[in-house]
Copies of this chain bind each other. A is one copy, B any other.
């Protein structure tokens, strides 16, 4: 959550002038997104009836070379009916522009609020929306390797070092080593693959009541095992702030998903393992960030142990949870 870069009012007005969205009325930096700077931008609209947009400036963590994939995916999914924001193209048809050496994109503004503690009914709706996303993405021609897949977890933990992990928690090195070995040996290679979101945490879903208004922040989207995306979402949605498992939310999430896209027997069978992988993936990035984020950085570090506890939960209970 940060606005890393300042754009002057003159920069903003000139930029907005490149799009057919009317004139700039208002722009406020918003405290969202860990990898980008974002503004809510209001304009007079192409027909004078007003328009609202998210202006995103891509900072170091997002590769400009990936933007055609990310932004093209939004357009593809929105056209299929998934609740994702469309990319606004400039007058020349470009999905992103460069300003002061950084890429920027103008994105549709969607209503809704992100929840801290979603209900079962909301989890059911999110499961359905995730399944819809997978169905709608099936004929998307773009491909992108998952930069946060198993080989990367090895690298991140290696960069943490055994001592680093132990400084976070004495039991962490052993948990990580045994899980890395287990998952590397068992990771499925024959499950259906497609484009997945890969980071569908509650703060990336906009809801009004039980209705999903928006799936946002696709900057980890990639081509990978479809059921892994459900496992990631499960690991992100089905635990309360104190770490306890929420069985009603979990059942609703999976039921909502399966009602829209049937899971094969192989996918069902793999879910406990995929959930362990999902949990380990967030232990990896959070442990790395915990040890490598300067104390004066503007980014809030997230406790890696939250997901270490979820990992232990899936290890012990996964077979029962996904029965």
Return chain B residues, CB-CB under 8 Å to A295: 295-296
Complex CA distance for A115 and B13, rounded to whole angstroms: 11
* A9-B115, A42-B111 known; A29-B31 Cβ under 8 A: yes
What string of 1s and 0s marks CB contacts (under 8 Å) between A38-64 and chain B? 001010000000000000000000000
- Write the nearest CB–CB distance from A47 to chain B, whole angstroms: 17
* A114-B9, A117-B8, A295-B295 known; A32-B32 Cβ under 8 A: no
Which of A20-28, A126-134, A135-143, A261-269 faces chain B? A20-28
Complex CA distance for A104 and B50, rounded to whole angstroms: 29
Number of interface residues of A (CB under 8 A): 34
Q: In this complex, what residue of B is CB-closest to A7?
A: B116
- Write the nearest CB–CB distance from A246 to chain B, whole angstroms: 16
- Counting CB contacts under 8 A, is A298 at the interface? yes
- Counting CB contacts under 8 A, is A321 at the interface? no
- Counting CB contacts under 8 A, is A113 at the interface? yes
- Counting CB contacts under 8 A, is A208 at the interface? yes
Complex CA distance for A6 and B26, rounded to whole angstroms: 24
- Within the complex, which residue of B29, B113, B297 is in contact with A27, where a contact is CB–CB below 8 Å? B113
B3/A31 in contact, CB under 8 A: yes
B8/A115 in contact, CB under 8 A: yes
Besides the known contacts A26-B206, A30-B40, 15 further A-B residue pairs in the complex with CB atoms under 8 A apart: A8-B116, A13-B113, A25-B111, A26-B113, A28-B30, A28-B31, A28-B32, A29-B30, A30-B30, A31-B31, A295-B295, A295-B296, A296-B296, A296-B297, A298-B298
